[in-house]
Amino acid sequence: MLVIKPHIWFDQDKAHEAAKFYTSILPDSSVDFVSHFPMPGGECEIVEFTFGGQPFLGISAGEGLKIDPAISFMINFDPSRDADAAKHIDEVWAKLSEGGNVLMPIDRYPFSERYGWLADKYGVNWQLILTKPEGEERPVIVPNLLFTGDIAGKAAEAIDFYSSIFKDGKRGNLAPRPEDMGPDKAGTLMYGDFYIDRTWISAMDSAHDHGFAFNDAVSLLIPCETQEEIDQLWAALTEGGQSGQCGWLKDKFGVSWQVASTVMFDALKNGNAEQIARVTETFMTMQKVNVAVLQQAYKG
């Protein structure tokens, strides 16, 4: 079982540049792998990087997908682990906000002494928060799902669903609204989190008219080691949702996932040019990933 990797679709030729930018900001960060492979319409650049201990995968494959705040990334500044957390949150805010767009100014809020939400110069959304840790320790970076529009009010249902289909799945902390707050109804989630595939993910409800929804620009990639795991997760996540090409799917809430095989990434990292071409050409014909067929293409 491997950690889930948020997958971000950057504009043409920006993935590597963005990865270098992010990895310059926080400790426990590095650009781990860069590769290019052919795809219909041109060449695709992929970049694996680690930011604050969380693995990411960036891709540059042309324009067209717009990153929005439906999936953002919480950055936790924990005074119990970092005595200078209050200082560091402002330093990171200054770097990420340069050339970006502020959605909520960094300030004091009822839920945190220091918090802000921004979209950086690449369009990626970050929520920086000075935490008050309770219970099990959380990582520095936590992907966040915002349930809005037609699915506002479904965050708790989604948490239970995701927790039920992963072998290590479990609920974390839930903070439901104690009463109606404008368009947001009592019982909907101000914040909640859950643990799947060794990864903490958070979720929130907002019934305000935001004008955005989940899309493929930011997806959650599940690196699977066996066909059994792919079959089980594909069946569970596509139920009530929509299957796509190359292991992509939308679940019943509209969240984009990639149920991927580690064979594909092994080929990209360790294969020669002919092997990479065979594997990628084979991969492009698939919806649900077939591990045996990918392995055969890899071996030739």
* Domains recognised in the chain with CATH numbers: 71-205 (3.30.720.110), 225-300 (3.10.180.10)
User: What pLDDT does residue 140 have?
Assistant: 97
For β-strands 5-10 and 54-60, DSSP reports them as parallel
pLDDT digits (tens, 9 = 90+) for 33-92: 998 876 666 778 999 999 999 999 999 976 668 999 999 999 999 999 999 999 999 999
User: What pLDDT does residue 26 have?
Assistant: 97
pLDDT digits (tens, 9 = 90+) for 224-239: 999 999 999 999 999 9
CA distance 190 to 184: 9
User: What pLDDT does residue 13 have?
Assistant: 86
Residue 258's contacts (CB-CB under 8 Å, 6 or more residues apart) are 7, 219, 220, 221, 222, 246, 247, 248, 249
Q: What number of CA atoms fall less than 13 Å from residue 207's CA on the CB side?
A: 13
Which residue is listed with tokens 């492009």?
284
Which residue is listed with tokens 């997760």?
233
User: What pLDDT does residue 228 have?
Assistant: 97
Structure pTM?
A: 0.96
pLDDT digits (tens, 9 = 90+) for 154-171: 999 999 999 999 999 999
User: 244 with 257: CB under 8 angstroms?
Assistant: no
Residue 283's contacts (CB-CB under 8 Å, 6 or more residues apart) are 246, 264, 289, 294, 297
Q: What number of CA atoms fall less than 13 Å from residue 8's CA on the CB side?
A: 30
Residue 17's contacts (CB-CB under 8 Å, 6 or more residues apart) are none
Which residue is listed with tokens 């071409």?
277
Closest CA to 259 of 239, 235, 292: 235
